[in-house]
Amino acid sequence: MASPIVTEFRAERRFLVETLQSQGISDLAVLRAIESTPRHFFVPTGIGRQAYEDRPIHIGLGQTMSQPSIHARYLQIAALTGKERVLEIGTGSGYQTVLLAHLAEQVFSIERVGPLLERARQAIRSCGVRNVSTLLGDGTIGWREFAPFDVILVSAGGPTIPQPLVDQLGEGGRMLIPVGDQEEQILALLTKRGGVVERRDIAPVRFVPLKGTHGW
């Protein structure tokens, strides 16, 4: 996927990639996506440099962009090969959406907060990726029109696994979703084989609440 080459903060991006490698991120495609995505496009203006520190950033409207090491770990678990149709719930800043655009074939991303999605759309466009479709709406009901999906990534934590998302997962598909209470969740990896869904719990995580019909 061709992105315009952004020279600004190039050294900071390289340093971030080296930090992630030292933390055990070894998926080269994930590291390459992080190195080529200008994370400063996704943070409020004036704090560009902070975008390359390994910490979460408030993006306004009560929402937070996860720290880069969380995205990296999460994407490493997703193990994308470049051929998948991915559904992302919780576009937020749009940063992970662009990483996904580099790692998968087609990305469908849903966000429920209008002004956040407007900003994200602009930032995504500035990165030059063309394989992303976005929707303003309730991600807990999925995006039936484009189902089935090979991979579903939920970037907010809900009380249960939304059934529409399970239904929209294709055969052999996998879903990563934080499930638990509003403060802490377990990142669950679901796989669908022969119509049967298997669940494996990966690690405790903290995501913002998944709101909506099948959320909080």
* Rounded Cα–Cα distance for residues 125 and 212 (Å): 27
Structure tokens given for 95:
């940063």
> Tell me, what DSSP letter sits at residue 209?
B
First vs last Cα of the chain: how many Å apart?
36
Position 41 contacts ligand SAH (CB under 6 A): no
Position 93 contacts ligand SAH (CB under 6 A): yes
Q: Binding segment for ligand SAH among 63-71, 144-152, 175-183, 185-193 (CB under 6 A)?
A: 63-71
Q: Which of 3, 26, 66, 93 is catalytic?
A: 66
Find the length of the chain.
216
By C-alpha distance, which of 107, 96, 104 is closest to 65?
96
180-209 binders of ligand SAH (CB under 6 A): 208
Position 67 contacts ligand SAH (CB under 6 A): no
When the beta carbons of 136 and 196 are compared against ligand SAH, the nearer one is 136
- To the query of whether residue 66 is one of the catalytic residues in this protein, the response is yes
Position 177 contacts ligand SAH (CB under 6 A): no
Position 33 contacts ligand SAH (CB under 6 A): no
Which amino acid, 40?
Answer: H
* Rounded Cα–Cα distance for residues 78 and 14 (Å): 23
Q: Binding segment for ligand SAH among 2-10, 46-54, 79-87, 107-115 (CB under 6 A)?
A: 107-115
Position 38 contacts ligand SAH (CB under 6 A): no
Cβ contacts of 31 within 8 Å, gap of 6 or more? 17, 20, 21, 25, 72
Strand pairing of 106-111 and 57-60? unpaired
Question: Which of 25, 33, 78, 111 contacts ligand SAH by CB under 6 A?
Answer: 111
Which amino acid, 120?
Answer: A
Position 113 contacts ligand SAH (CB under 6 A): yes
Interface with ligand SAH by CB under 6 A: which residues? Answer: 63-66, 89-90, 92-93, 95-96, 110-113, 116, 138-140, 155-156, 208, 210-212, 215
Catalytic residues: 66
